[in-house]
Amino acid sequence: MRVVAAMIGILFLLPGHIRGQDVSELLARMKSMEARIQTLEAEVRALRGKPEAPAPLTASTDPQVRSAEPLPGVQLAPGPQLPYYGGQAAAAKIFNPDLSVIGTFLGAAGNPRVRPGPSFQMRETEVALQAIVDPYARADFFLSFGHQGVELEEGYLTFPALPGGFQAKAGKMRAAFGRVNTMHLDTLPWTDRPLVTQNLLGGEEGISDAGLAVSRILPAPGGVFLEGAGQFYRLFGSERRSDVLAVGRLRGFRDVSESTNVDLGFSFGHGSSPEVPSPALRLYGMDATVRWKPLRRAIYRSFIGRTELVWARAAQPEETARAFGYYVSGEYQFGRRWSAGARFDRSERYERLLRDTGGSLLLTYRPSEFSQLRGQLRRTRYGERVTANELLFQLQFSLGVHGAHPF
Amino acid sequence: MRIRFSWILLALTLAASAADRVSVVTTTEDLAAIAREVGGDHVAVNAIARGYQDPHFVEPKPSFLLNLQRADLLILVGLQLETGWLHALINQSRNKRIQVGAGGYLDVSSAAEILEVATGPVTRAGGDVHPLGNPHYWLDPENGRRIARAIAQRLSQLQPNDAGYFSQRFAEFDRRLRDAEKRWDAAMAPYRGRRVVTYHRSWPNFVRRFGLDVVDYVEPKPGIPPTPSHTLKLIQRIKAENIKVILVEPYFDLRTPESIARQTGAEMVILLPSVGGVKEVKDYFQLFDYNVTLLAGVFARVK
């Protein structure tokens, strides 16, 4: 009862007390505080993903403008759509893989001597299909259409982020032996593969077969990128389960400066087959790449120097053949569209321990990112004591979205 | 002994503090600058492309993987700006947190207002086109604000205990940006409607914001180097329409724009599309301070 009386007393006294104050000032302060609270609430809502009450921007009605309105927390209105080709069902195409085609035309003049080839050929048409499979893996397929038919150049599943920092691949792949073996035709800095690849590493195809691969970035000091890889492949298309090629690679990369970096690799290959004394094939490789690309003028100037050395031992039923080969190459980009290069090759062959030596001069013109013309003047002194002088002309062009190859 | 113990304690404290920070990798220095604004000392930010480098053409070096494999958050411009190099890095990062669609993958183009979205047929005959829209959208401060908000939101999701801190940092960034916008708008207001030529299509958001008019480009088509015939036509147009300013990004060859400027009497201005374009431009505010001051000075001179 006493409390009620006190409250009634306060209610009667309060208006008089307020009247004693500057009412307008008090109201102004309250409004200011209310506005401040609303602003803070809006910011908290925005950061928590809730709709913000006042939208400071308005959505554009211009069809070439994709506005992000409404603001954070609310589903964004889709931008203008590109036309569907094939009706509403075509919306399912969104899950189709990225598709690209790279065509490589090759013209040749001069007497090839030991390695004959046609004057003109559609050297390769590479069709790439690449997509994310599920939350755990992605897949890449590279189909090669050539004058000898269709072939799966590579087709593999990649688990990009396994526990322990591992990455694994399974499928048909180019082995991580050296640098050139992993390159597709469209990423080679020449129109051909070096003699050492042709003679010691599986010919034009290179070391490429079905297998499993695991790699990991290894801890290293001083900003060095160190990567180790272990791979197992079917031994050069053999049908026997015991014929396996194991490949190991250790790669180190370091930025010497902002513009210059050095890439060193050591590779090892060990192939076993019950038909011949063990091991059937043993390969050792060392490769080095030096790149220079000044960042301010990166689209106009660059230099890449490469070398690769391969020591091979192949046990054959009657004898063991040992062979060595290498190449040294340089490519200098002197304009946005132009680059010039040179390569020196030397490689022994397994068969009769013949030694081939070659040299090439190259000039490349790139009208755009999507096409390239390349000329290569190639002189090869074959072990049979014959010399081939050839002019090779390559035209390369790409359609679609071709994902960057592993580097 | 006590001193040695203190050092160990200090080292452990520093290590714990570093471990608490969100590791952020951005594709450009602009996004890095904004991430630092909202992340403060609760994030460690590294950018891949330098500000004076053409972000379309970045060499995907293995050394970038050293940061990417530890990253909690990867922030990208998107709209196919990094299409030639970023996904090779993501695929080889061995980091599931930053794979496409994961919580640590943030394409901030989804938060920004995008211009030049293709509405008709798109082919490579148009050059190196970006059908999803022009990727240089950070050059409007309003988009800077949107990017900052998106980053603050994602950081709050990744580090919920620091949500209040990121919210406060965003509010402070927003306040400073509003003040700066008044300054930049006032400096550029006298020059609204001025017509310019640019080298590449890097500036649609910038010119719209400040009311400039791009009448032509030094490139005949996006990504296609200048050709003699296009350059001749451009010179005639600049003379006929009395255009006084040619804007060039710092990573393009200056010979063609310099030659055009000589023959037309126009002034060539190296405007910065990114933070870090020159040494003194170290954050998002300094980027606009630099560009606005430079442009306003040039416009005042070449009436």
Tens-digit pLDDT profile for residues A183-212: 999 999 999 999 999 999 888 788 999 999
Cβ–Cβ below 8 Å for A258 and B50: yes
For residue A10, how many other CB atoms are within 10 A of its CB?
Answer: 10
Residues forming beta bridges with residue A376, ordered by sequence position: A362, A392
**What's A276's domain CATH number?**
2.40.160.10
Residue closest to A135 by CA, chosen among B96, B90, B89: B96
Q: Is residue A153 part of a domain?
A: no
Residue B104 confidence (pLDDT) above 70:
yes
Give the relative orientation of helices B163-188 and B284-301 as an angle to the nearest 10 degrees: 0
What is the rounded CA–CA span in Å between residue B46 and residue B39? 12
- Give the Cα separation of A272 and A320 in Å (integer): 14
Residues A132-156 as b or e (16 or more Cβ within 10 Å = b): beeeeebbbbbbbbbeeeeeebbeb
Which candidate, B109, B162, B102, places its Cα nearest to that of B132? B109
| B49 → chain A, closest CA residue | A295
Task: Return the biggest CA–CA distance within chain A.
Answer: 124
Q: Is the peptide bond before A70 cis (omega within 30 degrees of 0)?
A: yes
Spatial distance between the Cα atoms of A358 and A353, rounded to a whole number of angstroms: 16
Assess whether pLDDT exceeds 60 at residue A9: no
Domain membership flag for residue A15:
no
**Chain centroid, CA A111 distance in Å:** 37
pTM score, two decimals?
0.83
B149 vs A46: CB contact, 8 Å cut-off? yes
pLDDT at residue A15, rounded to an integer = 42
* Intrachain domains B2-182 and B192-271 with the same fold: yes
| Helix (H) or strand (E) run with residue A15 in it | helix A2-19
**C-alpha to C-alpha distance for A65 and A108, rounded to whole angstroms:** 50
pLDDT (tens digit per residue) in A29-39: 666 666 666 66
Question: A85 φ, ψ to 5°?
Answer: -110, 90
B118–A82 C-beta distance less than 8 A: yes
User: Chain-centre distance of CA B298, in angstroms?
Assistant: 23
Alpha helices in A116-257 (DSSP H): 195-200
The DSSP element (H or E) to which A6 belongs, if any, is helix A2-19
Q: A278 lies in a domain?
A: yes
State how far residue B116 is from chain A, nearest Cα, in angstroms. 5
pLDDT at A14: 42
CB atoms B94 and A161 under 8 Å: yes
Q: Which of A38, A43, A47, A98 to mutate to test the interface with B (most CBs of B within 10 A)?
A: A47
User: How many angstroms separate the CA atoms of A345 and A324, rounded?
Assistant: 11
Alpha helices in chain B (DSSP H): 2-20, 29-39, 63-68, 86-92, 141-158, 163-188, 204-210, 228-241, 255-264, 284-301
Using the beta-carbon criterion (under 8 Å), do A336 and B115 form an inter-chain contact?
no
Domain that holds residue A273: 108-122+161-400
- The answer to whether residue A222 is domain-embedded is yes
Mean pLDDT in chain B? 92
Residue type for position A182: T
Shortest distance, CA A348 to any CA of chain B (angstroms): 33
Is the distance from CB of A209 to CB of A231 less than 8 angstroms?
Answer: no
Q: What is the pLDDT of residue B297?
A: 96
Q: Look-up: residue for tokens 């009706």?
A: A87
Q: Which residues of A touch B50 (CB under 8 A)?
A: 258, 295
Q: Residue A84 and residue B40: Cα distance in Å, rounded?
A: 45
Cα distance between residue A167 and residue A73, in whole Å: 35
Contact state of B163 with A216 under an 8 Å Cβ cutoff: no
pLDDT of A405 higher than 70: no
Length of chain A: 407
pLDDT in tens, A389-403: 999 999 999 998 766
pLDDT tens string A348-361 = 998 777 999 999 99
How far B157 CA sits from the closest chain A CA (Å)? 9
Contact across the interface for A161 and B96, Cβ inside 8 Å: yes
What's the pLDDT score for residue B61? Answer: 94
> String of b and e for B21-31 (b: at least 16 CB within 10 Å)?
bbbbbbbbbbb
β-strands A355-368, A371-381 pairing: antiparallel
User: Which candidate from B94, B116, B121 shows the least CB-CB separation from A166?
Assistant: B94
CB pairs under 8 A between A and B: 163
Q: With contacts defined as CB-CB under 8 Å, which chain B residues touch A217?
A: 65-66, 69, 94
Q: CA-CA distances (angstroms) from residue B211 to A74, B117, B216, B272?
A: 30, 20, 16, 18
Helices and strands in chain A, H and E counts: 3, 16
Residue B118 Cα, gap to closest chain A Cα (Å): 6
| B53: closest CA of chain A, how far (Å) | 5
Segment A127-173, tens digit of pLDDT:
999 999 998 999 999 999 988 899 999 999 999 999 999 999 999 99
**A216 located within any domain:** yes
What is the pLDDT averaged over residues B31-51? 97
Give the β-pairing of A208-218 and B267-270.
Answer: unpaired
What residue of A is the nearest CA neighbor of B84? A404
**Structural tokens at position A18:** 């307020």
Inter-chain CB proximity A72 and B111 less than 8 Å: yes
Identity of the amino acid at A372:
Q
Per residue in B170-205, pLDDT (tens digit) is: 999 999 999 999 999 999 999 999 999 999 999 999
Q: Which residues contact B259 (CB under 8 A, 6 or more apart)?
A: B231
Strand order in the sheet with B22-26: B43-47, B22-26, B73-76, B105-107
The end-to-end CA distance of chain B, in Å, is 73
Contact A66 B121 (CB under 8 A): no
How is domain B2-182 classified at the architecture level of CATH? 3-Layer(aba) Sandwich (3.40)
Domain boundaries, chain B: 2-182, 192-271
Instruction: Give how many domains chain A has, as a whole number.
Output: 1
pLDDT of residue A154: 96
Calculate what percentage of chain A has a pLDDT beyond 70. Answer: 74
Q: How would CATH label the architecture of B192-271?
A: 3-Layer(aba) Sandwich (3.40)
Rounded (to 5) percent helix, strand, coil in chain B: 50, 10, 35
Asked whether the beta carbons of B47 and B76 are under 8 A apart, the reply is no
Mean of per-residue pLDDT scores for chain A? 82
Residue A136 lies in a domain: no
Residue A84: Cβ within 10 Å count: 11
Strand arrangement, sheet containing B213-217: B213-217, B195-198, B245-248, B267-270
Residue of chain B minimizing CA distance to A57: B142
The residues near B149 (Cβ < 8 Å, ≥ 6 apart) are A46, A47, A71, A72, B111, B170
How far the first Cα of chain A sits from its last, in Å, is 87
Higher pLDDT, A50 or B121: B121
Domain annotation covers residue A83? no
Q: How far off is chain A from B124, nearest CA to CA, in Å?
A: 9
Residue A403's contacts (CB-CB under 8 Å, 6 or more residues apart) are A98, A100, A128, A130, A140, B87, B88
Using alpha carbons only, give the angle A374, A194, A252 rounded to the nearest 5 degrees: 100
Nearest to B166 among A47, A83, A368 (CB): A47
Residues in chain B: 303
Q: What is the pLDDT of residues A239-249, one digit of tens each?
A: 888 889 999 99
A212 - beta bridge partners? Answer: A170, A232
